[in-house]
């Protein structure tokens, strides 16, 4: 490893700091990068502390994401002016030259080479930024040796990357390439490692999960086989496109003996058929209504979340009101709200009839208020009920954890060392982001 050569023969470990912005997939990849660095002899320190090497894993889904990525880069380089600063990820892939112009940047590496960035890092700071941005191929991929990753109770598992759907607003096919799947054996090697390390819940993640296919096995096959693994207590699906969800999953979610949890996050993006058409989405509201009706009838207590975008070009006030009505009438427990942001190269960016930013933000604020109210009502439905919760690491005097259907519960610490244990909890006061709870008993 080139960069490590100057530390050889010294008792001092080189320090590295990693910051990942954006989606769950980026967070997974950030932890994998940390694992590789540990295996290579680096000490990982919190972002913002002194380090000899900084890796910023960027996001570019919106203009705001770009700005946050730039701020993180500048923050590290100001704190560590003599360190090597490496910028990887989606912003590096779509805007490499722009990233290279930020003060302090030494290496700009796209998504194709993100996980093996150390192969390119030299022993000293280069005299000018080095840009590595290769075309992303469509072959099945392997994460390879992810290194010594510090897994927690709930661990993300990357199974897929890229997307072929080409929605008119989305830059992800340009940032992460077209759809491709993780090699079957490589995937299961990491699952086994996770279970061995004590992970109780695995969350499947990717850009377009439901399109997974490797060695003739599809997403449904993957879930079925993961469900048979001894030692895996919970299996959860992260955000998944509505047209890719096999109906057979509903029966698994309603089976107490199956580890697949009763939870769906389905990003429908708009609650108006006109806007769905402009977005090049692959369904109508009627199809979605039929789908969600089947889900709630088949899976009692299922939590369904969604993503909605406001201010898409051409969205009239009545179109937005229809989206709000759809959110309130469909069986959603909450909504992640995104303000439309122009992205270079997308069809939406080239269209006319753009909504003023102030109006976009006003609509987002209103929809977020509706979501907060609906989430609180959903939380209140569970007051007094006894539910199973997986406790996570304690913080600020509380354990936090999630029920099977993704209700977040905070529990005052009355007994130590209960993290990573399942407990039966009586749900108490409902609050906007979580419920309070009290432990009734601890599972052995």
Average pLDDT over residues 209-223: 96
Question: Rounded to 5 degrees, what angle do the CA atoms 13, 19, 22 make?
Answer: 160
pLDDT in tens, 51-94: 999 999 999 999 999 999 999 999 999 999 999 999 999 999 99
Q: b/e for 100-113, b at 16 or more Cβ within 10 A?
A: bebebbbbbbbbbb
pLDDT category at 326 given cuts 50, 70, 90 is very high
- Dihedral sign, CA of 61, 64, 65, 67? positive
pLDDT category at 48 given cuts 50, 70, 90 is confident
**What phi and psi, each to the nearest 5 degrees, are found at residue 418?**
-105, 0
**What phi and psi, each to the nearest 5 degrees, are found at residue 404?**
-55, -40
Domains of the chain: 2-132 (3.40.50.2300), 154-380 (3.80.30.20), 386-442 (2.40.50.140)
Report yes or no: 39 and 2 within 8 Å, Cβ to Cβ.
no
What letter would DSSP give residue 182?
B
Name all contacts of 278-285 with Cβ < 8 Å and 24+ positions apart: 278/168, 278/312, 278/313, 278/314, 278/348, 278/351, 279/167, 279/168, 279/169, 279/309, 279/312, 279/348, 280/165, 280/166, 280/167, 280/168, 280/347, 281/167, 282/165, 282/243, 283/242, 283/243, 285/326
Query: In the predicted model, is pLDDT for residue 6 greater than 70?
Result: no
State pTM to two decimals.
0.94
What is the rounded average pLDDT for all residues in the chain? Answer: 94
* Proportion of the chain above pLDDT 90, given as a percent: 90
* Proportion of the chain above pLDDT 70, given as a percent: 96
3-state secondary structure (DSSP) of residue 382: coil
What distance lies between CA 71 and its chain's CA centroid? Answer: 20
Query: In the predicted model, is pLDDT for residue 5 greater than 90?
Result: no
What letter would DSSP give residue 143?
-
Query: Nearest CA to 266 among 223, 212, 208, 220?
Result: 208
pLDDT in tens, 138-162: 889 998 665 667 788 899 999 999 9
Query: In the predicted model, is pLDDT for residue 2 greater than 80?
Result: no
**Which residues share a beta bridge with 203?**
156, 236
Give the pLDDT confidence score for residue 9 in this predicted structure.
45
3-state secondary structure (DSSP) of residue 280: coil
Report yes or no: 194 and 155 within 8 Å, Cβ to Cβ.
yes
pLDDT in tens, 9-42: 456 789 999 999 999 999 999 999 999 999 999 9
pLDDT category at 251 given cuts 50, 70, 90 is very high
Average pLDDT over residues 375-391: 97
């Amino acid at each position: 490893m080139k960069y490590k050569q100057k530390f050889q023969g010294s008792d001092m470990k080189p320090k590295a700091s990693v910051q990942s912005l954006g989606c769950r997939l980026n967070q997974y990849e950030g932890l994998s990068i940390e694992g590789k660095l540990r295996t290579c002899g680096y000490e990982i320190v919190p972002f913002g502390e002194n380090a000899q090497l900084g890796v910023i894993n960027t996001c570019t889904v919106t203009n705001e994401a770009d700005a946050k990525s730039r701020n993180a880069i500048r923050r590290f380089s100001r704190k560590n002016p003599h360190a090597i600063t490496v910028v990887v990820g989606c912003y590096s892939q779509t805007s490499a030259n722009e990233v290279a112009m930020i003060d302090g940047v030494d290496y700009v590496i796209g998504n194709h080479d993100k996980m093996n960035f150390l192969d390119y890092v030299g022993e000293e700071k280069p005299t000018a930024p080095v840009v590595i941005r290769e075309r992303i191929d469509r072959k099945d991929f392997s994460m390879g040796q992810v290194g010594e990753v510090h897994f927690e109770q709930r661990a993300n598992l990357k199974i897929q990357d890229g997307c072929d759907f080409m929605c008119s607003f989305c830059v992800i096919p340009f940032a992460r390439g077209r759809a491709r799947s993780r090699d079957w054996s490589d995937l299961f090697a990491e699952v086994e490692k996770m279970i061995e390390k004590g992970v109780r819940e695995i969350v499947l993640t990717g850009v377009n999960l439901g399109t997974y296919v490797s060695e003739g096995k599809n997403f449904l096959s993957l879930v079925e086989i993961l469900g048979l693994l001894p030692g895996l207590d919970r299996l959860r699906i992260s955000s998944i496109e509505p047209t890719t969800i096999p109906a057979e999953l509903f029966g698994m979610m309603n089976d107490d003996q199956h580890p697949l949890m009763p939870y769906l996050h389905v990003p429908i993006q708009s609650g108006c058929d006109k806007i769905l058409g402009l977005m090049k989405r692959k369904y109508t509201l009627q199809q979605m209504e039929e789908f969600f009706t089947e889900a709630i009838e088949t899976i009692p207590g299922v939590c369904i979340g969604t993503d909605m975008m406001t201010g898409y070009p051409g969205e009239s006030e009545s179109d937005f009101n229809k989206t709000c009505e759809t959110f309130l009438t469909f069986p959603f427990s909450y909504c992640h709200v995104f303000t439309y942001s122009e992205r270079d190269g997308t069809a939406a960016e080239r269209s006319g009839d753009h909504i003023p930013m102030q109006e976009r933000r006003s609509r987002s604020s209103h929809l977020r208020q509706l979501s907060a109210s609906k989430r609180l009502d959903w939380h209140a439905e569970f007051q007094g009920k006894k539910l199973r919760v997986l406790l996570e690491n304690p913080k600020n005097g509380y354990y936090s954890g999630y029920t099977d259907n993704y209700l977040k519960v905070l529990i005052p610490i009355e007994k130590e060392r209960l993290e990573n244990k399942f407990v039966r909890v009586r749900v108490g006061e409902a609050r906007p982001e979580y419920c309070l709870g009290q432990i009734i008993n601890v599972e052995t």
